[in-house]
Amino acid sequence: MIRRVVGFLDSRSGGAPFIRATLRYLFPDHWSFLLGEVALYAFAVLLATGIYLTFFFHPSLADTVYHGSYAPLQGQKMSEAYKSVVDISFRVKAGLLIRQTHHWAADVFMAAIVLHLMRIFFTGAFRKPRELTYVVGVLLLFTTLLEGYLGYSMVDDLLSGMGLAIGYGVALSIPFIGGNLALLIWGAPFPGDPSFESRMYIAHVLLLPALIATLIVVHLVLVASRHHTQFRRPQRGAGDRRLLGVPMFPAQVPRSLGLMLGVAALLFFLGGLIQINPIWLWGPYHVAQGTNGAQPDWYLGWLIGALRLVPSFDVTIGGYTVVPNPFWGGALFPLVVLAVLLGWPWIERRISGDRGFHNALDRPRDAPGRTAFGAALLSWVFLIFFAGSADRIYLFLGWSYEAQIWIYRGLVFVLPIVVFLITRRVCRELQQIDAVDRRREAGEAETRTAGVSASRA
Amino acid sequence: MRRLRAYAFAFGAMLGVATGRGRRKRIVPEGPKAPAAELWVVALLLLSAVFAVGFIVVYATGHWPNRTQFEGIALGGSLAFMAAALIVIGKRLVVTEELTEDYPEQEHLREQVEVSQIVRESGSRFTRKRLMQGAAGAAASALGLAFLAPVLSLGPALDTDELRWSPWARGKRLVSEDGNPLKASEIEENTFYTAYPEHSSRNDIAAPVVIVRLSPQALKLPRARRGWAPQGILAYSKICTHAGCAIALYRKPTFPPIEPTPALVCPCHYSTFDPATGGSVLFGPAGRPLPQLPLAIDGAGHLRAAGNFSGPVGPSWWGVRKKPAIRPKGLE
């Protein structure tokens, strides 16, 4: 039977050699290699739940009045978009489960991408011949960020409106062209033309998902064509030249499918049991309204922190506002992080002078400079992320908000340098411990052989 | 009959492979049997089926409390048990031998040379390469621009004066959320009010203003704005000049040693503005003071605008400091 199916397909597509090779494609066996797969499967859940949600969501800012089952909103004026999401939450059977799972999946997707990126960065997996795979991955991270932002923005609840206002402020702040650009995107001064909702919608459900899917395909094709990296295991022959791993079929497939279903299970548990973005509590958006303690989804926290840390100034020359304030935290900061991440393979190559092919991974300690730089960058971004929660700290612990911000403003310059120096030192110490271990083992082996030969004599 | 014989042959071949007596060498090694693991897999798969049916039951049986939680447990449970079954299969029931192979060839030097050769040689009949390249560049970029031109229909990108629009003008009454004109006598100290221009769209960042009352002695307004706060009542744009959020917090000094002055605070990035000094920035990232709306009190005691804002409303852009706020054409 199997033979017949294969025969049918092969004689019509010529695919048997390809399938034969694919079945025995080797996957190195290490848990950290699954992080990228977690991201992939979260994306699959996002697609499936997202398609379901489009069957019920109205991308329209037309005014309507709520007459549904949720009493506190009864009789309130709101947009069609917001009302349809309240209806998905309360009227559509299983709608709330799917909506919350979709939201959780976005948060998990971003987290998995970031962890995957950290694995790639700290083990040097981005080096030649995999720079393109890495660049596509970094672009995926930033495309996904925008996709997530649009997703919660088009709901038109109070929180999403505040997020859009900030996005509008950041767009306006781009030097020279900000005003023109913001008017082009929004169609009118904020809150914009009613067609802005359709623009967000088509970007969120078609343009960006198509881009993300394309980037994922390119990413995976590039991974497969150069094969996976691996940690060195000299005693088994795994190094820069030979790859050691389990074949795709039968070994990897059940593990990977198990992981997929496990990720989906986790997301549905989260979506069913842990409330996320209860938009009926936020209420519909109006430009004159704001809420205290508004926090975005976690993956935008670093931008909120950056926007809050910049002191009060606009750069003005001759009456023109050359650099409005939100540009620093909202545009320049993420662009600098993006540029550093994209350029890192070439920056590192410049510094180290290493232009060779690398299939075997570094342990982080074995590349102290890279590890220290990565730790510094990570601590910098996360410090700014935590600065975004200073208002919550003020609320819970009573520490003065202004004082906290001043401390963060100082730490932003000091902490990365300190982290860099400490990490580099720790890596070097660990390397020395390894060297001592190797010498001791070599010495012990020598003593043993010497002892053996002595006893023989 | 021939078919039957073919089946028999295939069956024999399968048996042969399964028992190791076939002519072909195995590709996947045989590995030991694990009947206990198989039973586990069966049990897990059946549990998965039970939970999936549970989801259908929960879904079908209408509205009961905590339905979403049960849906999540049922669907997640079904997926989790199936995941567990696959992991048992992966760990105990399929062969997971580690194999080695060479990494693919790093470079294909011959093909690299041939590709560049093909591209180069294909152009050998062209004699005016520069000119052709120039013409092709001109055509491609002009056509590209032509395709891009309709993008300008998306918004008034060439006329940033729209960013200065404000519905306020001398004589406009200030109305509250429910549409009633606000009286000066209703405005109290230590709290703040949101107001809109009468008979205008409210869904516009230039529409909402915050109103606060300070004691007239506390005011330190610039000289040009002396008459803008009758009885100490002040109006400012409600939209933060940093990133466009609504100024939703009013800090009345509850503890004067650390909060010496009342302040208008934006909850997005905590830009803090001083209403006593004309909306200047006390703390936080905003780069411009809050635009102030001059007020007057009419004969009936109602609050009216005495003019337009002191500057454009909302976040800064390239030309924000160049010209004042304007009334759009076509409004009364």
**H or E element: which one contains A394?**
helix A390-397
pTM higher than 0.80 for the full model?
yes
Query: What residues of chain A, 293 to 332, have a C-beta less than 8 Å from chain B?
Result: 293-294, 304, 307-314, 316, 319-322, 324-326, 329-330
Contact B167, B204 (CB under 8 A): yes
Residue A170 has pLDDT above 80, yes or no: yes
Query: A263: which 2 tokens?
Result: 């990720």
Chain A residues within an 8 Å CB radius of B102: 241-243
The band of A94, judged by pLDDT with boundaries at 50, 70 and 90, is very high
- CB-CB neighbors (< 8 A) of B244 in chain A: 165-166, 168-169, 190
Q: CB distance A246–B106 less than 8 Å?
A: no
Residue B163 pLDDT exceeds 70:
yes
> In chain B, which residue's Cα lies nearest the Cα of A329?
B285
Helix (H) or strand (E) holding B249: strand B249-251
Angstrom CA distances, A196 to A61, A190, A297, stand at: 9, 10, 22
The two tokens of residue B53 are: 């049916």
The reply to whether B47 touches chain A by the CB within 8 Å rule is no
pLDDT at residue number A332? 97
Residues B185-198 have a mean pLDDT of 94
Q: Is the dihedral of CA B286, A329, A331, A42 positive or negative?
A: negative
Q: Name the CA dihedral angle for A85, A88, A90, A96, rounded to a multiple of 10 degrees.
A: -110
B219, B278 contact by CB (below 8 A): no
For strands A360-361 and A230-231, give the pairing. parallel
Shortest distance between the Cα of B276 and any Cα of chain A, in A, equals: 18
Taking the Cβ of residue A185 and every Cβ of chain B, the question of whether any pair is shorter than 8 Å is answered with yes
How are beta strands A242-247 and B99-102 bridged, if at all?
A: antiparallel
Backbone angles phi, psi at A83, to 5 degrees: -60, -40
User: CA nearest A223: which of A341, A125, A348?
Assistant: A125
> Which chain B residue has the Cα nearest residue A225?
B104
Using 50, 70 and 90 to split pLDDT, how confident is the model at B1?
very low
Neighbouring CB atoms inside 10 A of B266's CB total 27
- Going by pLDDT thresholds of 50, 70 and 90, the confidence category of residue A293 is confident
| pLDDT for residue A292 is more than 90 | no
- CA A282, CA A290: separation in Å to the nearest integer? 10
Mean pLDDT of chain B: 90
> Which of A40-54, A85-99, B63-77 shows the lowest mean pLDDT across its residues?
B63-77
Asked if B97 reaches chain A (Cβ–Cβ under 8 Å), the answer is yes
CB pairs under 8 A between A and B: 303
Compute the average pLDDT of residues A88-112: 96
Q: Residue B181 forms beta bridges with which residues?
A: B175
Q: How far is CA A384 from CA A21, A167, B277, in A?
A: 47, 18, 31
Q: What whole-number percentage of chain B has pLDDT above 70?
A: 91
Beta-strand pair A26-27/B233-237: unpaired
What residues of chain A lie within 8 A of the CB of B248, using their CB? 289-292
- The proportion of chain A whose per-residue pLDDT surpasses 70, expressed as a percent, equals 98
Which of A169-173, A221-225, B255-259 shows the lowest mean pLDDT across its residues?
B255-259
Question: Is residue A78 less than 8 Å (CB to CB) from chain B?
Answer: no
Cβ pair A99, A85 in contact under 8 A: yes
How many other C-beta atoms can be found within 10 angstroms of the C-beta atom of residue A76? 16
What is the reported pLDDT for A213? 98
Helix extents (H) in B61-108:
67-88
Indicate the SS3 state at residue B281. Answer: strand
Rg (CA), chain A: 27
pLDDT of residue B24: 85
The CB-side HSE value for A400 (13 A sphere, CA atoms) comes to 9
Instruction: Say which amino acid occupies A8.
Output: F
The pair phi, psi for residue B240, each rounded to 5°, is -65, 140
Q: Give the helix ranges, DSSP H, for A187-327.
A: 195-202, 208-226, 253-273, 279-282, 301-309, 326
User: CB-CB: which of B106, B158, B270 is closest to A308?
Assistant: B270
- Res B16: pLDDT: 46
pLDDT band at B3 (very low <50, low <70, confident <90, very high): low
Region A352-380: what's the mean pLDDT? 96
pLDDT digits over B107-151, tens only? 999 999 999 999 999 989 999 999 999 999 999 999 999 999 999
Structure tokens of B107?
A: 């470079």
In terms of Cα–Cα distance, which of A83, A408, A263 is closest to B269? A408
* Tens digits of residue pLDDT in A385-439: 999 999 999 889 988 899 999 999 999 999 999 999 999 999 999 999 999 999 9
Indicate the residue type of B207.
A
Q: Taking chain A, what is the end-to-end CA distance rounded to the nearest angstrom? A: 68
Buried-exposed string A107-144: b where 16+ CB fall within 10 A, e elsewhere = bbbbbbbbebbebbbbbbbbbebbbebbbbbbbbbbbb
Contact B155 A186 (CB under 8 A): yes
End-to-end CA distance of chain B: 95
Query: Cβ–Cβ contacts within 10 Å for residue A431, how many?
Result: 15
